[in-house]
Amino acid sequence: MTGAKKYDRLDLLDRAIELFRRQGFNGTSTAELVAELGVNRKSMYAEFGSKQGLFESALERYSEVHLSNVLSPIEAPGAGPSAICEAFAIYGSASEGWARGRGCLMCNTAVERAALDPGAGRYVAAYLERLTHAFRRALENGQATGEISGNAPLDRLAAFFTTALIGVAACIRAEAPPEQVQAACDVATSILDAHRPVQAATLQ
């Protein structure tokens, strides 16, 4: 009879997320993972199968928990244009905080692994689709409330905001100056102003 596990799987994943986030997949050795997770190599392989298996499990955990927290403004049922601004504001403020130099694990993976690793690429593709869907729904809600004009190109705007947010996250990872990151966020959300309904002039 095997003994009970002396570790918590979710705790291991959270530890792995931070290591992969700082160093990337290629920059993280198995020895570093074992040291960071606090388990022996045998236990790590028994739980996740391989370094690749651990990485994909970490991406899944990151998507379910960490991204859900960050993206909550635009994924809320009633999210609208203001939620888009809030999402970019969160990323803008991150350039001066704990995420500086770390960025977003999913965005980092998009640059490092997506084109070469089908397993990681699957998670990145799902993330991009998730972002685009959330932005489009927020824009649709904006149309319904009269905050966005009826002829606004929602698909193109959603694609733009997705690409812009990925770029901002990459800049945070690269430790770009915070004022540069904030300027990018401000310019990105200013696009919304071009798609506000034109108010009819008041007759004199």
- Looking at the domain assignment, is residue 122 inside a domain? yes
Sequence-separated (6 or more) residues with CB below 8 Å from residue 32: 19, 23
What was the pLDDT predicted at 22?
92
Note whether residue 113 is domain-resident.
yes
Domain residues for the domain of 188 are 71-195
- Classify 196 in phi/psi space as left (phi over 0), alpha (psi -120 to 50) or beta: beta
Tell me if 174 is assigned to some domain: yes
Establish if 53 belongs to a structural domain: no
CA 140, CA 7: separation in Å to the nearest integer? 45
Looking at residue 200, its pLDDT comes to 33
Contact 7, 94 (CB under 8 A): no
Asked if the structure places residue 48 within a domain, the reply is: no
Count of structural domains, the chain: 1
Backbone angles phi and psi of 100, in degrees to 5? -60, 125
Residue 185 lies in a domain: yes
User: In angstroms, rounded to a whole number, what is the distance separating the alpha carbons of residues 194 and 157?
Assistant: 11
In a domain, residue 39? The reply is no
Q: Which domain CATH number covers 170?
A: 1.10.357
Q: Tens place of pLDDT for every residue, the chain, 204 residues?
A: 355 677 889 999 999 999 999 999 999 999 999 999 999 999 999 999 999 999 999 999 999 998 888 899 999 999 999 999 999 999 898 888 888 888 899 999 998 888 888 989 999 999 999 999 999 999 999 999 999 999 999 999 999 999 999 999 999 999 999 999 999 999 999 999 999 997 533 333
| Domain contains 42 | no
